[in-house]
């Protein structure tokens, strides 16, 4: 009877472990869960605003560059106009470089200050566990070291890279689409019609990788 009870307990624990391993939370749920643990929230918000400004520079730079190339392609008849667009492009490129450097600098600082905080919290939660908790195969010492050190460093990219790049892409798409609709909504609708195909290809690539 005891062997049957032990077998049932082991089977139940194995099912719990399998269910836990099969859970794959979305990136948005992960971001919501780690947001309360991130220090220097005001600094992060400032960096995210910088990321949005950096994203808006790309469509503006592309628009002005197309005008400059057009002026050059027709024979460079209006030299003053070419010099004006060239000076504006150089200024926008310099501003974009400053915004990019500021974005990476601040986000890396926030990520580096966040990782030791979650590592110390995780280490404390591991130390207070009883011996029975360490008997589970997923809680062995080698696994805990990997989670604390390697996975903790990998998680730094969530704050240092992912948040900022999401803001950059969002602002870039918003400014680009709004300006494209203003300039020619018919052609823009044709381009938007290809978006589901592109999204499907990206989803397949993400699943495979």
* Number of domains comprising the chain: 1
- The mean per-residue pLDDT over the stretch 73-84 comes to 80
Is the pTM higher than 0.95? The answer reads no
pLDDT band at 20 (very low <50, low <70, confident <90, very high): very low
The verdict on residue 10 lying in a domain is: no
The verdict on residue 117 lying in a domain is: yes
Cα(6)–Cα(8) distance, integer angstroms: 5
The verdict on residue 15 lying in a domain is: no
The verdict on residue 178 lying in a domain is: yes
Residue 111 sits in which domain range? Answer: 40-208
Q: Give the CATH number for residue 59.
A: 1.20.1560.10
The verdict on residue 201 lying in a domain is: yes
Q: What is the 3-state secondary structure (H, E, C) of the chain?
A: CHHHHHHHHHHHHHHHHHHHHHCCCCHHHHHHHHHHHCCCHHHHHHHHHHHHHHHHHHHHHHHHHHHHHHHHHCCCCCHHHHHHHHHHHHHHHHHHHHHHHHHHHHHHHHHHHHHHHHHHHHHHHHHCCCHHHHCCHHHCHHHHHHHHHHHHHHHHHHHHHHHHHHHHHHHHHHHHHHHHHHHHHHHHHHHHHCHHHHHHHHHHHHHHC
Percent of the chain scoring above 70 in pLDDT? 88
Task: Say which residue the tokens 């589901």 belong to.
Answer: 196
Q: Give residue 23's pLDDT.
A: 60
The verdict on residue 161 lying in a domain is: yes
User: Residues 29-65: pLDDT tens digits?
Assistant: 777 777 778 887 888 888 889 989 988 888 888 888 8
């Amino acid at each position: 009877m005891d062997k049957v009870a032990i077998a049932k307990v082991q089977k139940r624990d194995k099912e719990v472990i399998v269910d836990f391993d099969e859970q794959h939370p979305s990136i948005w749920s992960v971001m919501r869960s780690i947001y309360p643990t991130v220090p220097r929230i005001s600094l992060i918000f400032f960096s995210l605003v910088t990321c949005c400004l950096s994203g808006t520079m790309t469509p503006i730079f592309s628009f002005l560059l197309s005008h400059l190339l057009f002026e050059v392609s027709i024979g460079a008849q209006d030299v003053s106009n070419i010099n004006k667009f060239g000076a504006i492009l150089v200024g926008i490129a310099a501003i974009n470089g400053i915004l990019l450097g500021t974005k990476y600098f601040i986000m890396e600082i926030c990520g580096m200050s966040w990782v030791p905080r979650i590592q110390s919290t995780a280490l404390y939660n591991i130390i207070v566990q009883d011996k029975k908790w360490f008997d589970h195969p997923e809680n062995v010492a080698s696994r805990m070291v990997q989670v604390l050190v390697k996975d903790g460093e990998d998680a730094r990219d969530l704050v240092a890279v992912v948040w900022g790049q999401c803001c950059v892409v969002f602002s870039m798409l918003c400014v680009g689409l709004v300006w494209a609709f203003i300039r020619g909504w018919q052609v823009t609708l044709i381009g938007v019609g290809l978006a589901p195909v592109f999204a499907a290809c990206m989803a397949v690539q993400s699943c495979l990788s």
